[in-house]
Structures are given as C-alpha cells and as structure tokens.
Chains A and B, each alone.
Chain A
Amino acid sequence: NAGVTQTPKFQVLKTGQSMTLQCAQDMNHNSMYWYRQDPGMGLRLIYYSASEGTTDKGEVPNGYNVSRLNKREFSLRLESAAPSQTSVYFCASSGDRGLSPLHFGNGTRLTVT
C-alpha cells in the first residue's frame, strides 16, 4: 500500500523547458491536489481535481496545466519553465469533500536555472 507516489523526486530544468510531474494514489480517493512549497511560505494550492474528469484552479495556477488521467493519476505540466517555478511540489489526495484529511506524497524538488 504505497499511498501517494510522485515521480521524479528531483529535477533540474533550464528556463523554457517543459516537463510533467506524475502523481498516483492507490487509496481510491476522488479528490487530488497539487501544491507548491516555497521557503517560509507554507503550501499554496496550484490545481485540484474533485473527481475524475474535473479540474479547477487553485491559488497559483499560472504557468501550469493539469490532467486527471483517471481516478488514480493526476499530472502537473510546466509548459515553459521559469526560475520562479523553482519549488518543491507536493501531490495529495483525499476522500470525498468535507472532513477527510489530505494524504501527501514525498514531493518533487524542482530547480529551474
């Protein structure tokens, strides 16, 4: 029972390059989320998906796109990476809306030079 799995763990990109961060969960959760964590700022929501086939913007969506491929998988794409996107990215999942806690992956540390 792996929980939430993120790949890759580390990535270095040059400005303008693109990449996709992968996330998969095995808890049969409907909701999935992408957060970024910057030093001293806590986590900020980029995008979320309340159920398979739906996605919606969070607090900081600019420069990102997402795909909810199926119930298990939720990917985050950077089309043209910028140094401001250097961060640690966390994927999370939760049960149905309401009082379900979030289960987090261990993050992807991305550096854009």
Chain B
Amino acid sequence: SQQGEEDPQALSIQEGENATMNCSYKTSINNLQWYRQNSGRGLVHLILIRSNEREKHSGRLRVTLDTSKKSSSLLITASRAADTASYFCATDDGGGYNKLIFGAGTRLAVHP
C-alpha cells in the first residue's frame, strides 16, 4: 500500500519559475523525506523533515509539513532545466527500521 501520494502527477514550467509539489500520507510518521530521480538513475535524497518540524530549507528547496492535515509540500524556487526529474515523497512506517514507503511521484519538466 502506498503511504504517500504526490500531486500533481506531472508539472511543466519555464526556467526561473517556482515549482510546488504536494504529498499526502495516511498514518502517523516519524519523518518525511523527499527524493529526486533523474531518468534512468537511482533516487537521490534531497531533504528530511521530522514530524515535530514545520518547515525546512536547503538551498533552493523549501519543505513544509502539516501533520494535522497529513500533508507536505516541496517548493523549488527559481527552477533550472537541470531540475527536470521525478520527485518522490517517502514516509517511514513508524516501525523504527527506516523502512520508507514511497508515493508515485511528480514528474517535473523545466523548459529553457
């Protein structure tokens, strides 16, 4: 069963614009993570936000977490063509073994 569900499924923007992706999940979590996947490659970790945090920044990335709504958002500011990739949210299953459950992802296309 999928814990995280990303929205939208696909997003197409121009370079310089901001991109916002949303993630909803179903059960209590210890943390939520965002990953990026370039075509034909493995996933790369972007940012982790703990359940007691509301917002976190890393470079051009901003992640928010609302545990009352069981949702998170990833904002990429001033996007670049190199940001073109699929983005996945992942939540732990609460069992303490770092077993992550991934959503289906958002495909982001940034056009020059």
CB within 8 Å of A: which of B24-60?
Answer: 30-31, 33, 35, 40-45, 48, 50
- Closest B residue to A50 by CB, please name it: B97
A61 interface residue (CB < 8 Å to B):
no
> What residues of chain A lie closer than 8 Å to B98, measured between beta carbons?
31, 94, 97-98, 100, 102
Taken residue by residue from 101 to 113, chain A's Cβ proximity to chain B (1 for < 8 Å, 0 otherwise) reads as 1111111000000
- Smallest CB gap from B6: residue in A: A42
CA gap between A42 and B102 in the complex, in Å: 6
Task: Give the docked Cα–Cα distance between A59 and B2 (Å).
Answer: 10
Q: Taking CB as reference atom, which chain B residue is nearest A94?
A: B98
* Chain A interface, number of residues (Cβ within 8 angstroms): 29
Give the residues from 75 to 113 in chain A that come closer than 8 angstroms, CB to CB, to chain B: 90, 92, 94, 97-107
Contact B103 A58, beta carbon cutoff 8 Å: no
Given A50-B97, A97-B96, A97-B97 in contact, is the A43-B50 Cβ separation under 8 Å? no
Whole-angstrom CA separation of A59 from B1 in the bound complex: 8
**Among A31, A50, A101, A104, contact of B42 (Cβ-Cβ < 8 Å):** A104
Interface check A53, CB cutoff 8 A = no
| Chain A CB within 8 A of B61 CB | no
B13 within 8 A of A: no
**B44 nearest in chain A by CB position:** A104
A107 / chain B contacts, CB cutoff of 8 Å: 40-42
Measured CB to CB, the residues of A under 8 A from B are: 4, 31, 33, 35, 40-45, 48, 50, 56, 58-59, 90, 92, 94, 97-107
